[in-house]
Structure 1
Amino acid sequence: MRGIAFYIIESLRDKRISIFDTTLRDGEQTPGVSLTQDDKLLVAQQLDKLGVDIIEAGFPMSSEGERCSVKKITDAGLNLQICGLSRVIRSDIDSCLDCGVDMVHTFVSTSDVQRISTIKKSRDEVYKMAVDAVEYIKDHGAKCMFSAMDATRTDIDYLISIYKGVEEAHCDIINVPDTVGVSVPSATYKLISEIAANIKIPIDVHCHNDFGLAVANSLAAVEAGASQVQVTINSLGERAGNADLAGTVMGLHSLYGAKTNIKTQYIVETSHMVEKLTGVRMPPTMPIVGENAFAHESGIHTHGVLVRSDTFEPGVMTPEMVGHRRRIVLGKHAGKHAVKQSLECAGLHPTDAQLNDVLRRVKDIGDKGKRVTDADLYAIAESIIGATSKGEQAIILKEVSVMTGNIITPTATVKATVKGRELLGANTGVGPVDAALKAVTGILGDYKVKLRDFRIEAISGGSDALAEVIIGVEDEKGRVVSARSTNEDIVLASVEALVAAINQLISAQDRF
């Protein structure tokens, strides 16, 4: 028997919803974000791989660089549709058309507060501007989407009249934007239902996240009859951002049984790419794509998911569906089953008494506010069990030197003994830490690892503060290990933590 949380609205089962991504336009309006033309092309290509139906490539009239960027994307031979944004002004529309976009998204303020205070036009003037813009776009052979900006604060009768006007002008799709993010799901449902009862062309929604309701409002709009939703990767956008693609798509798939063209296995990959290019870090608790989205620490939870994953996970959505991985995290809430599994994965098999002792020490570290790394766990277990695996390290660090400055590319040299052979490696990076870590991984030969996590914390005051570095690495078989090091020198602490993590990976591999 299914609980009420797992109902599916029959009218949405297998219904196909179009995904319109505006990361390159509204997403780039995130304060502090600025993408190069090459960055934008990379994102567009990734969105094409992801299976997005339409992307809003930019606002060509806003700058020459923006126009060139949109043109570069339209010339890239992508499979998805490309849209350009314009005001209801012919020069804006021409700029989009000159870029060769498939669709022009034209907009004008319709709420009294915006209409009177910003564009200073009457309702009749705005109505005519909207209809004229749509007619002009259609006369030039492009698809047209019309947005009544600030729709959720617009008088409903006037809003429907303007949508009817653009529909008669042969607009292809209307957009209903919650421009300042003030709608709630019940109000969104009512608004879209009323519009759908009066308008026959497809309805698209654009929801902002000022109250954290953008995804919920988007899903409510689909329930009410919208057939397209606007989203961004990682919920980027003006102020608090837009509806997140991951949350919206997985909500549609897993909770409603609806369909999209999104290849969900690339969702996390896409999130990480956009995170890197924009510099906007995702909180670990970000739904679906966050580091902790499928992580468990509580003993009750970890025991449950180790027996059956859907005991403490949604079940209708697994980490594999979105390209993620389940993690068992150790800390003061850890349980015996999680510690035992982590040790067995490393080839360590404690007795029940030894396991209890390991668990007690792990909880002691957690109670002190410390994160328990894999290296901590293995060191504790090896000391209790009496294992000798830590005796001979695959990598013994001998020397680290770095050169950096305002006119010098940061360069690092590392000398180490790797399985009995003394090796010297050098590399460059965006900074001394990056260069040093690349130099270490460069001397490993065919043994490949990639950095999964990197954190620095100052644990004392002053310019000579001790720095604690925690690093997580993953090998080609998907094994992930974390380790820490503390040093006054951040570069040295980083290298020591990396070497410790790699030694743990190699040690675990050698045990089997």
Structure 2
Amino acid sequence: MKINVLDTTLRDGEQTPGVSLTSSEKLRIASKLDELGVNIIEAGSAITSKGERIAIKTITSEDLNAEICSFTRTIKGDVDAALECDVDSIHLVVPTSNLHIEQKLKKTKEEVLNQAIETAQYAIDHGLKVELSAEDATRTDMDFLIKVFEEGISIGVDRLCACDTVGILTPDKSYDFYSKLSTLDVPLSVHCHNDFGLAVANTLSAIKAGASQFHSTINGIGERAGNASLEEVVVSLDNLYNDYQTDIKINQLYSVSRMVARLTGVYLQPNKAIVGENAFAHESGIHADGIIKNSSTYEPITPETVGHKRKFVLGKHIGSKGLKQRLDDSKFNYTQVQFNEIFNKVKYLGDLGKCVTDVDLQAIADEVLEIEKNDKIKLEELSIVSGNKVIPTASIKLKIEDKDILEASVGVGPVDAAIGAVKKGIADVADIELEEYHVDAITGGTNALIDVILKLRLGDKIISARSTQPDIINASVDAYLSGVNRLLEVDSND
């Protein structure tokens, strides 16, 4: 059975607290969603603002394959705003629960029903497809809910949607609820929120009950605890169910997830299913050994399926086979005695509670193997000017091979200015992207040691780097340059 996907990252997802996308960012996401194979893109709510209408119209002007939709209330002015943006359809949302009708709208059921049908008819008369959506449907009297939907069907709406607005369904209740609606004569959509962490499970149950379309967002972003995660629903349908197919290109899920995280600023917890950084990461020696022999021992799908990559994490649980794999990937030559020494050092650091990064491993291996470091980029000088009513400014002198590079930069703080100056200095060498930055004070007092941990990306290569010093600026620059040098070395060895 074919299941269609309505993605609402640009509407419900943008309602995540703190998220506000520009027109160009919305277009980039919409274009990627179209490439991904999403059937319907809810591009926003046209009535929201002039800027929102510009963004939606920018998307509709691109002639994407996906149907472009605008959220509307049961107000003709909302429909007019959507028409102004040249969308293909509207997601017409009508509150149907007694709570919403009486407490929010302060109207009667008859008034709400009549307004919904009049607005739907107005949209249909103006050539729009209409998805009639019941807000708070799962707390609505079933007889009234069916009446709303049947009235919509009678005037020609194209799709129905029942929303679990506050995420109160369980998988069993979801199956029962959507089973009662799936016998209606038009396609049924499921729209689940994740307040109890059940949005994906409830969505899958609804599909099993007869829903032929689901609403979701990339990474499950959205109001409160978010929406059903597109990647989790799609990969579950593809791997755990035999009777359902979507048009989603599954091998693009990881790249789309990362782009949405970057543009929205809503980054994922590492253990996020399917697309989290640890989704295919292994530290345990037993697990690493099994994965190396046969990946299916501890992975239900391969990371390549979703465009991800496997990695072995170094820590106290690492086994000899996992460490050997990492050393071999880094092109180290070592004896068994040298390997044992590296292994013991990694275990020792793990027992101290430290996660051994790529840079840490490089330093350990260099020490054991007595390899002379030959960093391509070296810091010669660093000076900072910062203070009250003074824009933080950093000046640096780098030696890149035999060439001296002088650069300066300003920033929101001295660390930002220093990293900015370094980035300018290495711009001609490599386009390095700072993915993550984290700092901890690991001792007490004003002279506390500062532990800076960051992740850098060069193309598809990611390196973790760390530096521990009393000064946060020096530690940040040292960690940044350590990671850059390691990335350049790995890149040159490929």
Does the pair score TM above 0.5?
Answer: yes
1:3 aligns to what? Answer: none
| Aligned mates of 2:4, 2:307 — CA distance in 1 | 21
User: Counterpart in 2 of 1:9?
Assistant: none
Between the aligned partners of 1:428 and 1:383, the Cα distance in structure 2 is: 37
Q: Tell me, what secondary structure is at the counterpart of 2:263?
A: helix
**2:480 corresponding residue in structure 1:** 498
CA distance in 2, matches of 1:508, 1:170: 60
Aligned residue number for residue 128 of structure 1: 114
Question: Contact (CA 8 Å) 1:418, 1:444: kept in 2 or not?
Answer: no
The reply on whether 1:209 has 2:225 as its aligned counterpart is no
Q: CA deviation at 1:445?
A: 3.9
Shift of 1:239: 1.0
TM-score normalised per structure 1: 0.89
Q: Aligned-pair distance for 1:168?
A: 1.0
Structure 1 segment 376-395 matched on structure 2, within 5 A = 376-384=360-368, 386-390=369-373, 392-395=374-377
Which position in structure 1 is the counterpart of 2:346? 362
Match for residue 182 of structure 1 among 168, 171, 180:
168
Select which of 34, 39, 54 maps to 2:40: 54
CA contact (8 A) 1:41 1:72 kept: yes
Residue number in structure 2 paired with 1:415: 397
Gaps of 5+ in 2: none
Which one of 254, 259, 278 corresponds to residue 245 of structure 2?
A: 259
The equivalent of 2:89 in structure 1 is: 103
The answer for the alignment partner of 1:335 in structure 2 is 319
2:278 is aligned to 292
Structure 1 residue 244 and structure 2 residue 260: aligned?
no
CA distance in 2, matches of 1:429, 1:251: 44
CA distance in 2, matches of 1:171, 1:79: 22
2:355 maps to 371
**Structure 2 equivalent of residue 351 of structure 1:** 335
Amino acid at match of 2:315: G
Structure 2 length-normalised TM: 0.92
Alignment of 1:22-61 (within 5 A): 22-61=8-47
3-state SS of 2:147 partner: helix
**Correspondence for 1:466 among 435, 439, 449:** 449
Q: Note if 1:164 corresponds to 2:147.
A: no
Deviation at 1:146, TM superposition (A): 0.4
1:105 counterpart SS class: strand
Name segments (4+ residues, structure 1) moved above 6 Å: 404-410, 509-512
For 2:215, the equivalent position in structure 1 comes to: 230
Aligned match of 2:126 = 140
- Alignment partners' CA distance in 2, 1:438 and 1:224: 54
Change (3 A) 1:429 1:224: farther
Q: Map Cα deviations across residues 392-445 of structure 1 (whole Å, 9 max, x no partner).
A: 333322112355689987654432222333333455666654554454354374
The whole-number CA distance in structure 2 between the counterparts of 1:430 and 1:273 is: 24
Q: Structure 1's 227 and 343: CA in aligned 2 closer, same or farther, altered over 3 A? A: same
For residue 446 of structure 1, report the CA deviation from its aligned partner.
4.5
Instruction: Give the C-alpha shift of residue 190 in structure 1.
Output: 1.3
RMSD of Structure 2 on Structure 1 (CA): 2.5
Evaluate the alpha carbon distance shift between residue 264 and residue 431 of structure 1 in structure 2; reply closer, same or farther with a 3 A threshold. farther
Residues 165/268 of structure 1: CA separation in 2 closer, same or farther (3 Å cut): same
| SS of equivalent residue, structure 1 residue 271 | helix
Structure 1, residues 294-341: CA drift from partner, whole Å, max 9, x if none?
A: 1111111111111111111113xx222222111110001111111111
Matches of 1:63 and 1:474, distance apart in 2: 36
1:245 alignment partner AA: L
**Conservation of the 8 A alpha-carbon contact between 1:97 and 1:104:** no
1:180-217, CA deviations, whole angstroms, 9 ceiling, x for partnerless residues?
A: 100011111111111112x0110111100001111111
Q: Determine if contact 1:109/1:148 at 8 Å carries over to the other structure.
A: yes
Sort the Cα spacing of 1:240 and 1:396 in 2 relative to 1 into closer, same or farther, 3 A: same
The answer for unaligned runs of 5 or more in structure 1 is: 1-14
The structure-2 alpha-carbon separation of the partners of 1:445 and 1:59, relative to structure 1 and needing over 3 Å to count, comes to closer
C-alpha distance in 2 between matches for 1:353 and 1:271: 43
The 10-residue stretch of structure 1 (360-369 or 479-488) with the greater mean CA deviation from structure 2: 479-488
Cα deviation digits, residues 28-61 of structure 1 (max 9, x gap): 1112222233332332223223222111122222
- The letter for the 2-side match of 1:171 is V
What is the aligned length?
Answer: 492
Match of 1:221 among 206, 217, 223: 206
